[in-house]
Amino acid sequence: MSITLQLQLQLPMAKNPIFKATLFFIFIYFTVFCGSASVSTPISSITSHNAHHSHHHKANRKFEIASDMFWKDGQPFRIIGGDLHYFRVHPEYWEDRLLKAKALGLNTIQTYVPWNLHEPIPGKLVFDGFADIESFLKLCHKLDLAVMLRAGPYICAEWDLGGFPAWLFSMNPSPKLRSSDPAYLQVVERWWSNLLPKLVPLLYHNGGPIVMVQIENEFGSYGDDQAYLQYLVSFARHHLGNDVILYTTDGGARENLEKGTIRGDAVFSAVDFTTGDNPWPIFKLQKEFNSPGKSPPLSAEFYTGWLTHWGEKNAKTDADSVAAALEEILKKNGSAVLYMAHGGTNFGFYSGANTGADEADYHPDLTSYDYDAPIREAGDVDNAKFNALRKVIAQYGSAPLPPVPSNTEKTRYGPIHIQRKASLFDMIDFTSSTNVFESEKPMSMEHLGQLFGFVLYVTEYKAKSSRSSLFIPKLHDRAQVFISCPSGESGTGPTYVGTIERWSNDKLNLPEAKCHSNINLFILVENMGHINYGHFMFDQKGILSSVYLDGEPLNGWKMFPINLHNLNEVPTYNPIMHAAYSAFNKKSTFRKKLIHQFENETSKEPAFYSGSFTIDKPSQIKDTYISFNNWGKGIAFVNEFNIGRYWPVRGPQCNLYVPAPILKQGDNFLIIFELESADPEVVVHTVDEPDFTCGSSGVNVHQL
């Protein structure tokens, strides 16, 4: 049985009357749509049997649109909201961040729902820890914050693959994302059949905080498939009923709105646009896509800052200019949602990526999602942007603002000295058949079941008396290349010969090697984040083509997935991580011996490094940052929690944020998977503030 078929069989597709009805609906819609120039035909409802929702209704709770205004329980309601994503904030800090959002003057929270966090492998649903969306929504309700829920299935969000689970690429055939492809709609239906029922008790008219639910996200910037949008609306109505407001968000240009909205009053069409644009001509355009009286002016993404990719200058926007732009909306009774109110962190392997003119023009996102938002990555509010926005909001809000909480406390725990190094190549059992895949040609990471992180590709070639040229036409995203001679000096590991990167993809010259047997070739490939926006989201990872040596393809590959914990995964036995942690069971004299062995090494070798630091009292447990200045590139784990990717050589991010809830009294363990070269002193430092001054500071911000 092929790997592809095995993965496909893990996908228990829903085959029920609802799906058949929706396919029939799509067929009918195509017939009507193609035969008429009008796009304002009311949506065919499949929700006439939704009487079973009626018993949830709470007296006098109603959120609606009339007279070009939002109304909450019969009173005019202006949305002054902000995006705050539960999956980018440690759950123990949700309340802290929400209280700071209230202190900013916000009355509404907008959040995405990332499908890939909630269904990391087909059929395995996760709704706890960082994925405990119900607890987050109940906390919003407790704090009297309305919620605009962006249920997807596509979210963008600078999140891996725009929230889609990468296992979709392992299906055969792979479904066409964001389309009315039946194979895609089938998996969407299965996902939403699990998600949407959880939301029903949390809708506003049922006593919860959710006042609006978004359909897709900025679809007009991507496609023009009205049948797909109609399908999502019908299926959402089937589960959520007719009382909740459904909405779309699209860029404030006519072309985007023509493609991404559904005219009429079945779905409210909101807009977003560049901060500083004159909002009112765009709000006038917005009215054309809503029914008369059903178009309250709403900027659903009012940008407080911007995203940053590796290698760029850290994005910053002027506080007073942002505040003045917000006032232009609020002073004429417009509504706005700050994107972001609080950015947070792309913990684990979940940071996404963007592209430029083609898929090779690849720009991966930082671990930090600070976004230059008014509530900073670690929850700080003592800054000019928070103060400027709060001052404006205070003039237009309906109630006095609560006092501003203090910044989250941070501390330094001193240097962390590394006790042990273990080479990646020493930790892989190349003779075992339990964690290896074999094929003539290289296979993508997704077809190996490796959706994040790293895969080691191994083959061999005949030694030559001259230098050779290695070429990989399609590599996603970054590869380190090593060679070794099995008949060479005993105990000698693979030798680093160079790095190939997707965005340059040059040929790599391999050195002449005197070897009496075939030479082993090792290619360690890193997935730096699936593309989350635009037309290149068919972004499989790994080696996606043949590998050529002097123009001839290399065959006979072995592939070894490197299994590392991702966000919200319960650590299980993992030979690699187990070996890395085993250092703490060794005696200190042995640790010193190992330090002496590697502290002067300069070769670029992927290896695991382990160290620890001690917190004596519970009162000393506070937020901190780990500085990776003088290190190369890699991933770090604190107490088995993946705090993310570091790459100070590329920059601009130097430090990784460590929230206090992952720390503990006593020994705290740090594992570093360094891909290239450790600090010569073999030490990292804990610090009490962020730093975005690493790498090249002269590169312009990459604008989408």
Q: Checking phi first, is residue 136 left (phi over 0); if not, alpha (psi -120 to 50) or beta?
A: alpha
> What is the rounded CA–CA span in Å between residue 148 and residue 153?
15
Is the separation of the CB atoms in 335 and 65 below 8 Å?
no
Is the separation of the CB atoms in 704 and 533 below 8 Å?
yes
> What is the rounded CA–CA span in Å between residue 304 and residue 89?
18
Told to judge if 674 belongs to the known catalytic residues of this protein, a careful annotator would answer no
Catalytic entry in 158, 301, 312, 526: 301
- E strand intervals along 191-334: 210-214, 245-251, 268-272, 298-303
**CA R_g for the chain:** 26
Structure tokens at 69: 């205004």
Q: Tell me the CB-side half-sphere exposure of residue 568, using CA atoms within 13 A.
A: 22
- Measured CA to CA in angstroms, residue 691 lies from 159, 364, 629, 648, 652 at distances of 22, 19, 10, 10, 8
- Measured CA to CA in angstroms, residue 222 lies from 259, 369, 495, 703 at distances of 9, 24, 44, 17
Q: Which of 102, 76, 79 has its CA nearest to residue 390?
A: 102
SS3 619: helix
Told to judge if 218 belongs to the known catalytic residues of this protein, a careful annotator would answer yes
> What is the rounded CA–CA span in Å between residue 680 and residue 276?
47
N- to C-terminal Cα distance for the chain?
42
Catalytic entry in 119, 158, 216, 218: 218
> What is the rounded CA–CA span in Å between residue 581 and residue 668?
11
> What is the rounded CA–CA span in Å between residue 118 and residue 85?
14
The DSSP result for 513-573, as a single string, is: ---SSPEEEEEEEEE---B-SSS------EE-S-EEETTEEE--EEEEEE----TTPPP--
Backbone angles phi, psi at 423, to 5 degrees: -65, 140
Structure tokens at 284: 């006038």
- E strand intervals along 304-345: 335-342
User: Which residues are tagged catalytic?
Assistant: 218, 301
